[in-house]
């Protein structure tokens, strides 16, 4: 049997409400390396969004280098890693052919040659294919004569190409980064496309014995027990406060068997929590060992509270956000809507309606989608 450790969505370099999370991420990655040392998997799978932005800060780059060096060089465990929609494909994929000789398989941008790692166990060979985030524009560069209008078509085209190259009698694992229709989302996940066109169908992944995905921050399976998200390394928004972060130890058995998946918890030095109550109740409540957690407060006092954040931070030093529900504007206006749960295109469309009194026409919505997709591509490459 082959044993694989599945992780994703590290988002190294993330800033949460002005706080750099690199130190917390370093502790979690230390724990990940410890898990690798204890479990001795045959490979580690990192399913995209390794960095939080296309041009990551130097300390995030160093942290990735240190972590991969410890796993690949010190422990001798190969790593298969793909770029996600937050990553710069060219930066992440730099030197990938040289690195593959040392046991680090990296897929930055979609290519006509899908990188893979071959393992062997008592059931024969097992191929792990690395398929990065399949942005339609990037896939059109690989297949200029093919029609690739959306993410579903882009993924289907790349999978078809991959399977045409792969041996038919070998077990297959796919490491990818995509939004499979039906998955549960969190507010910290960046939409893959304007207007909800970024989803793919689970049926397009049916040919694989196991699919290790990144993008959705909640640990879950989608469409099949063989298609799984490991979830993010850390809680990257307060909407994830109830998540339990972990990595998955996946055991691949004989052909046709459903893989066994075991969650291994990752706990950092701080949690993300929400508190709810009046200022007096929160200040006098038992604080417990979690007083240093990152905290969002729903403050229920009916009137003004002088220096609320200063008072709260005297007890909870890492209060990052305060909400005052009685000061939320009436429903029906953009200002009365929680925009964190909305896609950028929807925010603009609502703003346009509020300002002009008219909805975007179909042609205007198409222009908006094209421009925002182009902006997202430039952002991923760090182009101003």
Counting runs of H as helices and runs of E as strands, what totals does the chain give? 10, 19
Taking alpha carbons only, the member of 89, 126, 123 closest to residue 109 is: 89
> What's the pLDDT score for residue 335?
54
Please check whether residue 38 is in contact with residue 286, taking contact to mean a CB–CB distance below 8 angstroms: no
256 Cα distance to chain centroid: 29
Name all domains of the chain by residue range, CATH numbers in brackets: 2-265 (3.60.21.10), 272-327 (no CATH), 334-380 (no CATH)
Low-confidence ranges of the chain (pLDDT < 50): 194-196, 330, 332, 384
Bridge partners (DSSP) listed for residue 261: 250
Using DSSP's 3-state secondary structure scheme, residue 371 falls into helix
User: What pTM does this model have?
Assistant: 0.84
Bridge partners (DSSP) listed for residue 9: none
Taking alpha carbons only, the member of 140, 71, 67, 78 closest to residue 109 is: 140
Please check whether residue 212 is in contact with residue 173, taking contact to mean a CB–CB distance below 8 angstroms: yes
Bridge partners (DSSP) listed for residue 273: 295
Bridge partners (DSSP) listed for residue 247: 264
Q: What is the pLDDT of residues 99-115, one digit of tens each?
A: 777 899 999 999 999 99
Directed axis angle between helix 362-380 and helix 344-356, to 10°? 140
> What's the pLDDT score for residue 194?
45
Integer Cα distance of 228 and 330 in angstroms: 40
Using DSSP's 3-state secondary structure scheme, residue 40 falls into coil
> What's the pLDDT score for residue 20?
94
Q: What is the pLDDT of residues 264-306, one digit of tens each?
A: 999 888 999 999 999 999 998 877 778 899 999 999 988 888 8
> What's the pLDDT score for residue 282?
93
């Amino acid at each position: 049997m082959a044993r694989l450790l599945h992780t994703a969505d590290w988002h190294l370099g993330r800033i949460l409400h002005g706080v750099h999370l690199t130190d917390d991420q370093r502790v979690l990655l230390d724990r990940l390396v410890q898990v690798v040392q204890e479990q001795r998997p045959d490979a580690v799978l990192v399913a995209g969004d390794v960095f939080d932005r296309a041009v990551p800060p130097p300390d995030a780059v160093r942290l990735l280098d240190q972590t991969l060096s410890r796993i690949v060089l010190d422990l001798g465990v190969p790593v298969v890693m793909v770029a996600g929609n937050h990553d710069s494909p060219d930066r992440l994929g730099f030197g990938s052919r040289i690195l593959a000789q040392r046991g680090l398989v990296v897929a930055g941008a979609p290519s006509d040659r899908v990188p893979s790692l071959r393992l062997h166990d008592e059931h024969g060979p097992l191929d792990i294919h690395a398929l990065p985030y399949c942005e339609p524009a990037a896939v059109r560069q690989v297949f200029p004569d093919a029609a690739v209008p959306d993410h579903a078509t882009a993924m289907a085209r790349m999978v078809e190409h991959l399977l045409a190259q792969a041996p038919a009698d070998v077990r297959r694992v796919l490491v990818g980064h995509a939004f499979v229709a039906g998955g549960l989302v969190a507010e910290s996940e960046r939409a893959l496309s304007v207007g909800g066109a970024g989803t793919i169908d689970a049926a397009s992944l049916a040919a694989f014995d196991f699919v290790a995905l990144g993008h959705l921050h909640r640990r879950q399976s989608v469409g099949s027990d063989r298609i799984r998200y490991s979830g993010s390394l850390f809680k990257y928004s307060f909407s994830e406060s109830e998540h339990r972060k972990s990595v998955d130890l996946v055991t691949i058995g004989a052909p046709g068997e459903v893989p066994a998946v075991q969650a291994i918890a990752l706990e950092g030095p701080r949690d993300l929590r929400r508190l709810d109550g009046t200022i007096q109740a929160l200040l006098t409540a038992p604080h417990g060992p979690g007083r240093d957690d990152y905290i969002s407060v729903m403050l229920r006092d009916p009137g003004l509270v002088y220096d609320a954040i200063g008072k709260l931070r005297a007890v909870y030093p890492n209060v990052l956000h305060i909400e005052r529900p009685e000061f939320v504007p009436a429903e029906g206006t953009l200002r009365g809507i929680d925009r964190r749960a909305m896609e950028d295109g929807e925010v603009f469309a609502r703003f346009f309606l509020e300002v002009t009194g008219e909805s975007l026409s179909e042609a205007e919505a198409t222009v908006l989608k094209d421009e925002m997709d182009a902006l997202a591509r430039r952002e991923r490459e760090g182009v101003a």
